[in-house]
Structure 1
């Protein structure tokens, strides 16, 4: 089974596909960072929105943020920011998993562990989706905030941050190993 998955991923995981997915993922990310988040932040009086709090948040912060955002800010968050943030996690998970596979093949790291490591971006994406669902729930139920939902959504934010960080550390490590391998080969 693992060999079949390995063969399929190896055949389909070309540089062009990975590069195209990387571009698509980062176009969506760029829209989020440079367009939709700034639109919401116009209403926030300098408070960071929930998506930008990697260490989580509490019910008091959420209440203060939502009050500060006002009806227009909450509407912008729900109907302009969240839709793009519902596209991004899936793209992130797929793209960065394929990047991990691609880099692993380039350094001949052909091991069962790579399949486990390649799940890191998928988990980041799953936690991002769960965080988004929590934020949607909080926005639609405001001013009735449920502390358990806030706490759960905050935990999802922490999970997203953890797995995103592990993803990028993995990619940096694989890039370092790939460059080291090239340097060694050039010295021979």
Structure 2
């Protein structure tokens, strides 16, 4: 199962790197350095979204809706699978299942965020309502919280497993 973890984790990180090194910088360049909505862990306001859309333009919207969202179609499931496999290896009992539930919540929130952001990107700037932005931002916050918890749990569990391994060896 450890090998499966590393294969799925490496695949998810490859997709993440494609976004981090290609699509996100491309979209930031189109918006004078503004971060894409998906990468704002503390959420965003209506005014911030209106400003972002104005800077993004039609070509940027098209790129976000196609290239960025296609990569982000695979990433949430790959990340949740990585977390789930990692938690199955590192933890037992209720903690394992609670962390797996957090990973699934992060995935569901990411897909919900993507759907809400797509609705915003398809809308004319003046048609983007405060409610649309609040809903998208809510899912961004849920995703960020769940994923942060999962990353911390994976690092802590992996660190503890390494320490235990070193102690057994010597």
TM range (shorter): over 0.9
Q: CA separation in 1, counterparts of 2:3 and 2:168?
A: 25
Residue in structure 2 matched with residue 24 of structure 1 by the alignment: 11
Q: Which has the higher relative contact order, 1 or 2, with Cα contacts under 8 A spaced 6 or more apart?
A: 2
Q: Could you report, residue by residue, the CA deviation over 1:132-173 in whole angstroms, capped at 9, with x for unpaired residues?
A: 011000000122102111001101110011001100111122
Deviations 1:59-115 (A, max 9, x none): 1100000001111111111111111111110111111111111123xxxxx323311
Q: CA RMSD in A?
A: 1.3
1:137 to 116, 119, 129: 119
The TM-score with structure 1 as length reference comes to: 0.85
What does residue 42 of structure 1 align with? Answer: 29
Aligned match of 1:61: 48
- Give 1:56 shift: 0.2
Matched-pair contact (CA < 8 Å) for 1:97–1:120: no
Which ranges in structure 2 are unaligned for 5 or more consecutive residues?
A: none
Task: Name the TM-score, length of structure 2 as normaliser.
Answer: 0.93
CA contact (8 A) 1:40 1:81 kept: no
- Whichever of the two has the greater Rg, that structure is 1
Which stretches of structure 1, 4 residues or more, deviate above 4 A after TM superposition? none
Question: Is the 8 Å Cα contact of residues 24 and 35 (structure 2) preserved in structure 1?
Answer: no
Cα separation, 2, equivalents of 1:50 and 1:142: 16
1: CA distance between counterparts of 2:163 and 2:74?
35
Please name the residue that 1:154 is paired with.
137
Cα distance between partner residues in 2 of 1:49 and 1:142: 17
How many residue pairs align between the two structures? 169
The structure whose residues are more often helix, as a share, is 2
Distance 1:177 1:132 in 2: 34
